[in-house]
Amino acid sequence: MIDWTDAFDNSSYVRGSDKLADLWSDAASAYRDRAVPAGRARLDIPYGPGPRNRFDLFSPGTEPKGLIVFIHGGYWKALDKSFWSHMAAGPLSHGWAMAIPSYTLAPEARISDITREIGAAITAAAGEVPGPIRIIGHSAGGHLVSRMLCRSGPLDSPVLDRLEGVISVSGIHDLRPLLQADMNETLRLSEAEAVAESPALQDPYETIPICFWVGAAERPELVRQTRLIGEIWGAKGADTSEVYEPGQDHFSVISALADAESRLLTTLTAPKKVTP
């Protein structure tokens, strides 16, 4: 028997991970304290009726090249946009604006509800910034950005027509194993919802590039999930690529988004399309 609770347990296998939330929160708060007075941040822009249906928008000092939307993780049941503001430093240094939405968490929302909320958040952010759109998400956010590229996803043609590429970092793409994990007491996934919300079990838009990115030192299940969707979507003709980044764990792999010189960021902001 596979212990699926252990298979998705990232924190217990990364030393110091219990301190990361406070470190992220402090760094994000300090970044907002600089960005707001400089006129480079607008906070709590509504995209829906719920109290967490808000996004923050960070802008470079010049006309942006386009919009990047970052979807945070937390297994659909933790964290919010306030932990990630400092990640905008990377995209802004390359001339892109970046939106970071919060979303309603489980158990108040089901994963299918969250999928719809993220579609609404991206659509609302797209209305604030002209030009191309690229999206990136981490962990549960990696799942959610992959869902945006499914033909069963919530994005309409006007947004899809502007979407140049997607990076799904450490995403969960087949949700069925979560039915056997302790976290499902909070997520409340049914078999039918697990299938419907699993990007690996859905048909992708073939012409929009997507890169599945994972730390090579992550839990084996996260690596397996990356390989799984890469193979399935690749066989369906999707424009896919995969990166298994040496030495990176589930948390360090996303920290590169704030680094102007990192491979993750230069891939996300590449002049033509999102390919490593």
Q: Where are the domains of the chain?
A: 4-268
Q: Is the confidence at residue 181, as pLDDT, over 80?
A: yes
Pairwise CA distance, residues 80 & 104, whole Å: 9
pLDDT recorded at residue 102? 98
Residues 71-127 pLDDT 10s: 999 999 999 999 999 999 999 999 999 999 999 999 999 999 999 999 999 999 999
pLDDT at 198 over 90: yes
Q: How confident is the model at residue 274 (pLDDT cuts 50, 70, 90)?
A: confident
Which range (11-15, 200-204, 243-247) has the least confidence? 11-15
Q: What is the mean pLDDT of the chain?
A: 97
Identify the H or E element spanning 46.
strand 41-46
- What are the pLDDT digits (tens) for 217-248? 999 999 999 999 999 999 999 999 999 999 99
Give the sign of the dihedral formed by CA 264, CA 114, CA 205, CA 143: positive
Is-contact 167 210, C-beta < 8 A?
Answer: yes
* pTM confidence score: 0.97
Instruction: Say whether pLDDT at 145 is over 80.
Output: yes
Judge whether residue 167 has pLDDT over 80.
yes
Phi and psi at residue 132, in whole multiples of 5°? -65, 160
Q: Which two tokens stand for residue 143?
A: 């799942």
- pLDDT (mean) for 157-169: 98
Instruction: Please tell me the distance from the alpha carbon of residue 217 to that of residue 109, in angstroms, as a whole number.
Output: 31
pLDDT surpassing 90 at residue 273: no
CATH code of the domain occupying 4-268: 3.40.50.1820
3-class state of residue 191 by DSSP:
helix
Q: How many residues does the chain have?
A: 276
276 pLDDT band, cuts 50/70/90, is: confident
Give the Å distances, CA to CA, from 142 to 12, 166, 237.
20, 9, 20
The pLDDT value recorded for residue 114 is 98
User: Quick one: DSSP state of residue 203?
Assistant: P
Is the pLDDT assigned to residue 272 strictly greater than 80? no
CA distance 177 to 162: 34
Tell me the mean pLDDT in the region 159-169.
Answer: 98
Tell me the percentage of the chain whose pLDDT exceeds 70: 100
